[in-house]
Structure 1
Amino acid sequence: MNRIDASEHYDESAFQSQTPSLLTVVIDTNPRAWAAIHDLLPISKAVANIFVFINAHLSYGNENQVAIVAAHTNRAVWLYPPSPNPDRALSRRPDGGGGGPDVEMTGVDSHRHRPREPQLGTSANKYPQFAQIESSILSSLRSLIDSTSPSDLNPTTLISGALSMALSYIHKTSLAFQAPKTSKDPANPTTAPPTKTAAPDLHARILVVSVSESEPAQYIPTMNAVFAASHARIPIDTLSLYSAPTFLQQAAFITNGIFLSAAANPRGLLTYLMFGFLSDIEARASLITPTQDSVDFRAACFCHRNVVDMGFVCSICLSIFCDIPANAECLTCGTKLALGNYGAKPAVVPRKKKKRKRVVNGTGREGTGSAAETPGPA
């Protein structure tokens, strides 16, 4: 029977379940930045295009997952999945560190009212999972916008906090996909380890849709999140709609991610998303991904939080300063900076006098000490 229906020619390994992929999208929701490109791309159309991209990612496999984080002006908020405890505030500083005053991290308004429960679409033409995700994101995004006060309208965007939340969620999700560890046999403790490297249980990546410039005050927490993602082999992709953020360019380069700038044509957001960022880590090994022509590797100084091209670096803690600190002491670790001969005037070396040439019979050659001319051929 197998020869009749040709089932023996099929490769059974091809029908095995694929590795699930987790896509975490960080959306820059700075109102000032979106107001600058409102004529080209309103935030409503941008969110609609992101919905199409998310649905395409989920359509690749039943086990694919998605998470959405909003990087706002003074906090980072989960848009999807919704927080199980919306009334519990998470402690987070605006610079991305821990401690400090409590900042609301859930989709509730300023009066601490619970948002409306997302209603599933009743259209038969929409997949129920897509409708549930879209309703949850729109409800959380509407609550975030309504809770934004005029005092929150500053040009700073908390990208570092959003990256930290995304990495924490990815780590928590990867633990759920890990296979249970088998205990060693006490009768045979010298069991040889497996020779082949185990395949990853989850492919995770982060996509940042940015409309703001990099904030120098967030250089340290952003780089901490970037190096943590690089250590965990999680690529950070970036799609810039307005400018070229310096730190996100470095994040894409360090984590082997993709950086694209759509500042010339923000209306083509969906095209950039579908053709540049839809492939996961496993598929990118067989594709030619977009590359960066140049990367801005400038860093922010630790003293004035300015992006500098050249500066002074502490040899102990690698802190960067745009100018020599007071008493030549590192402001981070207190180490005395050895500046050597920096600032000393260079030594003046006298120029060596050149030997002057004698003019003989109108020619500029040196004289031989004889008044007679050089005899020519007869």
Structure 2
Amino acid sequence: MDAVDVSEHYEVTTAEETPSLLSIILDANPRAWAALSDVLPMSRAIANILVFVNAHLAFSNSNQVALIGAHLDRAVWLYPSPPKPKSKTGADASGDVPMQDVPAAAAPSSSANKYPHFAQIETAVLSSVRSLVDNTTEADLATTTTQLSGALTLALCHINKAAQALCSPVANLEDSRKANASDAPPTVRGRILVISVSDSEPSQYIPTMNAVFAAAHAQVVIDTLSLSGDPTFLQQACFNTGGTFLAATHPQGLLTYLMFGLMADSEAREALIAPTHDTVDFRAACFCHGRVVDTGFVCSICLSIFCELPPGAECLTCGTKLALGNYGAKPAVLPRKKKKKRRIVNGNGREETGSATGTPRP
């Protein structure tokens, strides 16, 4: 029939888009933002981040976003905001605390000039940041450590929960094994963007690296935009997860870095040339004093790193007796092999042989 009526029939199939979940971790260190206030105030930075969030959501109706604040002594949700607990525990019958997009008290006023979803996110983020700043005390300012590891853990848990919510129930065990296979397409493309303004804290090395390895195992990309400071551990996080690390030389152009360097997700980057970082600082923090060291002693059992030999040559983590072997000994110098002398015979150089006369010529 196709040849008779000269028509072409196509088999139409529908394919759902894989949602992209962007989790933004904002370094809310007050000391770092105070030092950066002349170049980029925190209020202007949040306004630029909200524009970036709106652009991410405008790409697809299925895209999602989450914002987490990494403070001095805690990691808090900026969006979605947890509701006020109605009971003492604040959990339902299953023990889970429900989340909502925006608190009822902070509901935005209706405006025809602003998309309602964008207005909800803006109201929730500004309300959460204002509450975070108001609850910061002088005792909190005595601590200089940013809880980056806690924020990474919250982001990974949120991505995993979103992926589990989108999974369809499997019929049998064989289908569940196929769904959990490594080559199965992901139900959600999750990635984490860290906006850093402070240095990496050596005491946060172990929990941060644990979160990075978990992200690499879950195929979650970690991107970093460093406005100031030297985030050594975040460079390693971007390298291990295949993310992008950008060090902003002009922090006032925050929106430009976000829109042109960090807008594309992991799937779109396969068709683009993503910015790369030339050098990566692979230094680690020792387990004994928390110092960032270039060389040290490594336990062969638990891979713990020590800047100096532990007391009694015993690993402080697993208790294994460390055997140093010939550590500190001078390297052995092997004598050079004597080369055979070459003598000239009839104007030609030839290797010396054991015969007294030369080789007869025809």
Q: TM-score, normalised by structure 2?
A: 0.80
Partner of 1:362: none
Does structure 2 retain, via aligned residues, the 8 Å contact 1:314–1:320?
A: yes
Partner of 1:23: 22
Q: 1:343 Cα deviation (Å)? A: 4.0
1:196 and 1:246 map into 2 onto residues whose CA distance is 30
Q: 1:348 Cα deviation (Å)? A: 10
1:152 maps to a residue whose letter is D
Q: Structure 1 residues 86, 23: CA separation in 2 closer, same or farther (over 3 Å shift)?
A: farther
2:159 pairs, out of 159, 167, 170, with 170
Q: Structure 1 residues 328, 275: CA separation in 2 closer, same or farther (over 3 Å shift)?
A: same
Partner of 2:277: 292
Partner of 1:67: 66
197-206 or 33-42: which moved more?
A: 197-206
Partner of 1:55: 54
2:70 and 2:137 map into 1 onto residues whose CA distance is 16
Kindly indicate whether residue 261 of structure 2 is the aligned counterpart of residue 276 of structure 1. Answer: yes
1:89 and 1:164 map into 2 onto residues whose CA distance is 22
Kindly indicate whether residue 236 of structure 2 is the aligned counterpart of residue 258 of structure 1. Answer: no
Partner of 1:355: none
1:196 and 1:64 map into 2 onto residues whose CA distance is 23
Q: Structure 1 residues 79, 334: CA separation in 2 closer, same or farther (over 3 Å shift)?
A: same
2:120 pairs, out of 128, 132, 140, with 132
Partner of 2:36: 37
Kindly indicate whether residue 146 of structure 2 is the aligned counterpart of residue 157 of structure 1. Answer: yes
Q: 1:55 Cα deviation (Å)? A: 0.2
SS in 2 for 1:34: helix
Q: Structure 1 residues 261, 121: CA separation in 2 closer, same or farther (over 3 Å shift)?
A: farther
1:196 and 1:10 map into 2 onto residues whose CA distance is 33
Q: 1:8 Cα deviation (Å)? A: 7.0
SS in 1 for 2:276: coil
1:325 pairs, out of 296, 310, 323, with 310
CA RMSD of aligned residues (A): 2.9
1:163 and 1:244 map into 2 onto residues whose CA distance is 18
1:337 and 1:322 map into 2 onto residues whose CA distance is 14
2:210 pairs, out of 218, 224, 247, with 224
1:29 and 1:58 map into 2 onto residues whose CA distance is 23
Does structure 2 retain, via aligned residues, the 8 Å contact 1:116–1:139?
A: no
2:184 and 2:107 map into 1 onto residues whose CA distance is 41
SS in 2 for 1:23: strand
TM-superposition CA deviations, 1:284-329 (whole Å, max 9, x none): 1111111110100000000000000000000011000000010111
Q: 1:39 Cα deviation (Å)? A: 0.3
- Where in structure 2 are the equivalents of 1:75-154 lying within 5 Å? 75-86=74-85, 117-153=105-141, 154=143
For this pair of structures, how many residues does the alignment match? 314
1:248 maps to a residue whose letter is L
- Structure 2: gaps of 5 or more residues: 1-6, 91-98, 336-362
Q: 1:227 Cα deviation (Å)? A: 0.0
Fraction of identical pairs, as percent: 61
2:10 and 2:292 map into 1 onto residues whose CA distance is 58
2:16 and 2:70 map into 1 onto residues whose CA distance is 34
1:306 pairs, out of 274, 281, 291, with 291
SS in 2 for 1:118: coil
1:132 and 1:166 map into 2 onto residues whose CA distance is 20
Partner of 1:376: none
TM-superposition CA deviations, 1:259-280 (whole Å, max 9, x none): 0001x20001000000111111
1:163 maps to a residue whose letter is L
Does structure 2 retain, via aligned residues, the 8 Å contact 1:121–1:132?
A: no
Kindly indicate whether residue 335 of structure 2 is the aligned counterpart of residue 336 of structure 1. Answer: no
Does structure 2 retain, via aligned residues, the 8 Å contact 1:121–1:128?
A: no
TM-superposition CA deviations, 1:113-159 (whole Å, max 9, x none): xx882131432111000000110111111111000001111321000
TM-superposition CA deviations, 1:24-74 (whole Å, max 9, x none): 000000000001110000000000000000000000111111001000000
Partner of 2:227: 241
Q: 1:197 Cα deviation (Å)? A: 4.7
1:53 and 1:61 map into 2 onto residues whose CA distance is 14
1:10 and 1:134 map into 2 onto residues whose CA distance is 45
Does structure 2 retain, via aligned residues, the 8 Å contact 1:33–1:155?
A: no
